[in-house]
Each structure stands twice: as C-alpha cells, then as structure tokens.
Structure 1
Amino acid sequence: MIRQFFKKKAHLLFILLSANTINAQWIKQESGTDASFRSIHAISKKVVWAGGSKGTVLRTTNAGATWQVIKVSGAEKLDFRDIYGVNEKVAYIMSAGLAEEGAAKVFKTSDGGNTWKVVLEYKDKGVFFDSMDFWNEKEGILIGDPIDDKPFILRTLDAGNTWLRINKEKLPPVLEGEASFASSGTCVAIQPNGRAWLNTQSRIFFTSDKGETWQVYQTPFKKGQTAGIFGLHFWNENQGIAVGGDYKNDKEKIDNVAITHDAGKTWEFLPTAKPDGLKESGWRLPNKSLLLVGTSGTSLLGEDGGTPPEPEWKAIDTESFHAISCFKDACWAIGGKGNLAKWK
C-alpha cells in the first residue's frame, strides 16, 4: 500500500487445460468470520494459513474441510496484510502499520496459532510494511514503504527472532512517490539460491544473494498513487508475472499482467486479463495455465482457444478476491468479509 506470456515463445508457455480443469471454478468454503483478508499461504494440499483484519488468522489442516478462526491476543485492531506458514505449527503474520500507531509488527506462532510472539516491531513514523516471504524456515525478507529515499528492506537469518535493515547504501535510490501496495501479500517473490524479487508500482528490485547485492529493473506498468503492480509470482528462476491495475478504477480496462523470461530484467504485457480491471494476485498452475484474482474478478489463461500465437483469457467470474495461493494444483483465494474459496 502507499500510505493508504508477448507472443514470444508462447508455445513454451501455453497449452490447453486438461479435461478435469476446463470446468474448474471457485467453490465457496465457510471461513467462520466476517474479517477482511489480504493474505493466504498454502503450504501443502492440506495446510493453509490466512491473515486478515481485526487480528484474525485462519488455519486449515484438512484441505479446507474446516477452518479454525484464530484471534491473536492484543491484535484486535491490527490488519494482517501478509502471512507465511512454515508448517501446520509455525507461521508468521505481518501487520502493515502505521508504525507510529503501534501497528507495524510481525508475529510468530510455534504452536499452531494458540500463542503468538511479536518478533518485529517498528514505531518510527513513516514505517509501513508491505509484504514478506521466506527462502526457508530460517531466512526471510520483508519490504516496506521507502524511508530516506531508499527502499526499506529487512532480513532475518534466524527464524524471525531478529530482523535487520539491509544497508541502504547497497540499494538503488527510489523514485519520487515510489512505494508498494500491501494488498495481497505478494510484493515479494522468492526462488531458491537466494533469489528474490520485490516490486514497487512500476519497478522490480532483484537480489540473487539474499539481499547482499541488488539490481533494479523497469516494467511497463505506469506508476501512480493508486496504480501499478500489486503482486508478483515466479515459478522458476527466470519466469514470472506481475499483476496490477488501479484500485480506484478497479473495473477499468487496463494493462494488468506482464511477463518476464529473463529473471525480471525485461517485461512485456500480456493481452489484458478478462474480466477487465485490477488484478492483485496470480499463480501459474502445474498445467502451465495462469490464474489471476482481484476485485474485478477471476481470470484464467490457457483454456478454450488459449493456444499460441494468440492466447486468450477466460473470465471465470466477477467475484472479488484479494489474494491467491496454490500448492501444486490445490488453490485457495480469499477476500473481503471472510470470502474464501477453493479451486475445483
């Protein structure tokens, strides 16, 4: 939040969906809460964590057959904008801010959500957390809105017990008004061997060594106070997508998804994902199709005519979801007022 494939090599990226996926759709699940959710993490086909408003966390250990509603003690006024599950017992949740209001915090549980410990807290004015991710159970990274004209990036190397800001002298300067959107918990994308991509509205900050060195790359997204990139997803060390739009004009036709084949150095817009409008989070399924969600609805690429050279998007619905997470072909999406669904 800001305080408040491309036709090239298409044949390598798009195939028709398998028969059992062509008719796939979102099937609603009972969340048991009216909290608003902007973060979800599927760590297996059975275990999923989600973080939301009013200090609320959801957890399932049975593939969504039932969901446990967890209220984090002392966090009743906090809005959890990102979550990372290590396993069914261990998870991290991130409250974005404002820091000066005591709301920029990261909590950790080691007992399945029964108890939570604050492992990171900032109270300095201007600090606002946007997104986080982990390479493994000990090493993770977090991005916040820029401070002192430099990206605000934190790193942990000891399972979240301590977090240190990456030396700003190692980082490129930010542009005027540049920041990220804490809208889906997907402003950070991780791949093995120390790779991480962090997005602002129109640029990508990349590290190949867990934050020791950085490059910055331009995307075709236009930077705006309410517009730009809202989320990233990489499925290998070279290929990924960036999704976005404008949250104040979230049904407007706009370029809303771009792809990279070279680890983020260059990006190219795909055809506009249908239904038109804002896309906040996306995923590449095992059958190579792309599934995107946002307040404008769900988009699927790879079906009915989605073969090269002119891939076409299918508008699945106009249901509003903020975030998506998948483990292989098991996907969940989540949004406002406890809106929760599984892809079947």
Structure 2
Amino acid sequence: MNKIILFVIPFLLLSCKKENQSSYQIPQEVSIELESLSTDSLSVRALDVKDDTFWFAGNRSTYGSCHDSLPGIHKGRVLYNGNDQLEFRSIAITTDYTFILTAGNPALIYRISHENDSLALVYEESGEKVFYDSMKFWNDTDGIAMGDPQTDCFTVLTTYDGGDSWSKIDCDQLPKIVEGEAAYAASNSNIALQGDHIWIATGGMASRILHSPDHGKTWEIQETPITNGGEMTGIYAVDFYDEKLGVIIGGDWNSKENKVANKAITYDGGATWELIADGNGPGYCSDITFVPNTDGNELLAVGSPGIWWSGNQGKDWKQLSTTGFYTIAMSNDATGLLAGSNHISRFELKRK
C-alpha cells in the first residue's frame, strides 16, 4: 500500500466555537496521511461507519467493507435480473445489517447481513422519475431515505421495523418544491439526523433545507444563503454536530473554483444560516463532516478539487491535499475513509 504525507500546515491559534466554553485549542500544525486501499475503476459516493468498520457502495453493482485498523477491503457484488451495472449512491449501517440503495430506475434497497454477508432485496420501486439520493438510520429500527421529486414534493421513504419494509410519506405532509428544485446524489450526505430532527438539503433552482423536528411527522422549510438558480448549483451536503450546530456546503459543480455563497453554518438548528469564509477556503465540495471529539470545532470538506480542514467552524480553512474525493466518513478524531473516482483511501490527521 502506498502512503503519502501531504502538506504540513501552520495554523495560528484562533477563537473557538461561537459561545463555546470548551478547552479545545486549534492545533498549530495539521497534515493528512493517505493510504490507498483500492484503485479499481469504481465510482464510490456512499460511505458509512459503525464500530470502526466502514462500508461503501458504488457503481458496477459493487459494495464492500474494511476495518479501521486492518489491511485490505472486502468487496461484494449484486446481480439484479442479470444486471450487474447497478449504481449505488446511498448507504446506512445498523448493528446487524448494512443497507444500500440504488440511484435511478429501478430503486432497489438491499440488506446485507453482517453475520454471513447474505443479501436480501427489501424494497423495489420503478418509475420514470424514480431517483434516490441518500439514506440514514437513527437506530437499529428507524431509517429514512430521500429522493428527487416525483410529483410536487421530494420523495421520502421511512422504515420503523429495521428496514424490513419501507413506505412513502404522503406528499400532502411534505413541503412543496420550487420548480426546478432537485437534490444531488453526490456523497450520501443530503440527510442529517440528530435526536428526532431531520434535515434534508436541496439544490438546483432553490437551496433549501427541509426540516422535521419530530421524526418526520411535520415539516418546515429553512431558507439558506447558498447559491442556486443553476443546473448544478445548491447544497450538496449537510451535517449536524448536535440539534443546534450544523453546516452545509456545495456550490456550483460547473464552476468548482467559485468560493462565493457555497458554505454556511447554523447555531439554532437551521432556523437561520450564515455564510462562512465567503469567497475564501474551499470552492465546490460534495461532502462535509464535523470531526468527532473536537467539540464541533473541526471540519473536513472534500470534493473533486481536494481536501480542506478548518479548526474554527469554517471561519478559516487550509487545503490539506489536492487529491479529489467524493465522500468522507470518520471513526474518531484522527482516522477515516475517503472514496471517489477510481480510489478508496484510509486517512489519518496529524496534529501538533
């Protein structure tokens, strides 16, 4: 396996999280070490982690797993009616199972057993407008998936029996879309869950958050300042540290260097969003995550242009690598997995 150490970054000690009384201090130097696990010709946009085991899903009907500290990866493949070219872009893990969901028509949710790697098809849907973007689980029984509009609302699936059965939330219960509003199956990061809260990110002709405070019973719209109005503009990823502190990132896929109005933060659960590092830091990114165990201060943002790190909730950023990835997952404050086009890499953050 090839190991590459990229860009040691000097970083001044700056202020911490807004109204944060924690003892966190921004490290003076940060670097990233990448360890290549796979260079197969796969496009992987779906990652999740549980108990130090990472699972991924990608194109060509492929899925797989690897452990945080063990070498190599385990891969599997799905065959559906003779089709071995399925595109998986959504993934979620429970204690006993991993669920993977295709983008495009037909929509297929497969359940993979952790005990014996057996596959079960637990949901199937066909239709011209069927296209799912993201999937998450609160716990071992309750899960949610979202997809592009099929009528005048986004498509939202829920399960309350551990993924055995899935049903759609009626459109009458969901906010109506703006004409041309859509979502991007770019990193399995359209959905964030904390407590009973759900946040779903949108793009296209509107960059909004669909928010439910009560496990999907009622919904409201949260407006954001993220760029919109173009074919590939909007929010590409959302993450919440707790029920109040959250971040969104995206931009314009057709103008990746544009750093204006592409990242924002909330301190009140999404009721209000404010731009961060506007015109600075990363441009277009497809994923963002709060680094675990850093009191909501550290962020990692990734996209095809590279990897970016912030130690003060996005006020300032430093680029750690020019190697591009689509999606990121972390098992602790130092280690995680990155996946993208034709490569999957384990990484470690180094701090001084």
On whether the aligned pair clears a TM of 0.5, the verdict is: yes
Structure 2 residue matching 1:248: 3-state secondary structure: helix
**Letter aligned with residue 328 of structure 2:** I
Contact (CA 8 Å) 2:210, 2:220: kept in 1 or not?
yes
Structure 1 residues 334, 312: closer, same or farther in 2, change over 3 A? same
1:179 and 2:182 are equivalent in the alignment = yes
Which one of 87, 90, 105 corresponds to residue 82 of structure 1?
90
TM-score using structure 2 length = 0.85
1:231 and 2:237 are equivalent in the alignment = yes
Match of 1:152 in 2: 155
Structure 2 Cα separation of the partners of residues 296 and 84 of structure 1: 26
Match of 1:328 in 2: 332
Structure 1 residues 26, 62: closer, same or farther in 2, change over 3 A? closer
Structure 2 Cα separation of the partners of residues 112 and 318 of structure 1: 38
Structure 1 residues 113, 336: closer, same or farther in 2, change over 3 A? farther
1:294 and 2:303 are equivalent in the alignment = yes
**Letter aligned with residue 246 of structure 1:** D
The structure whose residues are more often strand, as a share, is 2
Aligned pairs for 1:156-235 within 5 A: 156-192=159-195, 194-201=196-203, 202-223=207-228, 224-235=230-241
Alpha-carbon distance, 1:12 to partner: 2.7
Alpha-carbon distance, 1:129 to partner: 0.3
Alpha-carbon distance, 1:328 to partner: 2.7
Alpha-carbon distance, 1:272 to partner: 4.2
**Letter aligned with residue 331 of structure 2:** F
**Letter aligned with residue 20 of structure 2:** L
Aligned pairs for 1:1-344 within 5 A: 10=18, 12=20, 16-18=25-27, 22-31=29-38, 33-44=40-51, 46-74=52-80, 76-87=84-95, 89-97=96-104, 99=105, 102=106, 104-111=107-114, 114-192=117-195, 194-201=196-203, 202-223=207-228, 224-272=230-278, 276-285=282-291, 286-287=293-294, 288-302=297-311, 311-329=315-333, 330-344=335-349
Structure 1 residue matching 2:149: 3-state secondary structure: strand
Alpha-carbon distance, 1:173 to partner: 0.8
State the Cα RMSD in Å. Answer: 2.3
Structure 1 residue matching 2:37: 3-state secondary structure: coil
Structure 1 residues 84, 250: closer, same or farther in 2, change over 3 A? same
Contact (CA 8 Å) 2:227, 2:262: kept in 1 or not?
no
Structure 1 residues 92, 331: closer, same or farther in 2, change over 3 A? same
Structure 1 residues 219, 41: closer, same or farther in 2, change over 3 A? same
Residues 292-321 of structure 1 show CA distances to partners (whole Å, capped at 9, x for unaligned) of: 10112111111xxx59xx932111111111
* Matched residue count: 324
Structure 1 residues 217, 275: closer, same or farther in 2, change over 3 A? closer
Structure 1 residues 77, 273: closer, same or farther in 2, change over 3 A? farther
Structure 2 residue matching 1:33: 3-state secondary structure: coil
Contact (CA 8 Å) 1:170, 1:213: kept in 2 or not?
yes
Residues 145-179 of structure 1 show CA distances to partners (whole Å, capped at 9, x for unaligned) of: 01211121111111111111112111121100111
**Letter aligned with residue 76 of structure 2:** I
Q: Which runs of 5+ in 2 are unaligned?
A: 1-14
Q: Percent identity of the aligned residues?
A: 29
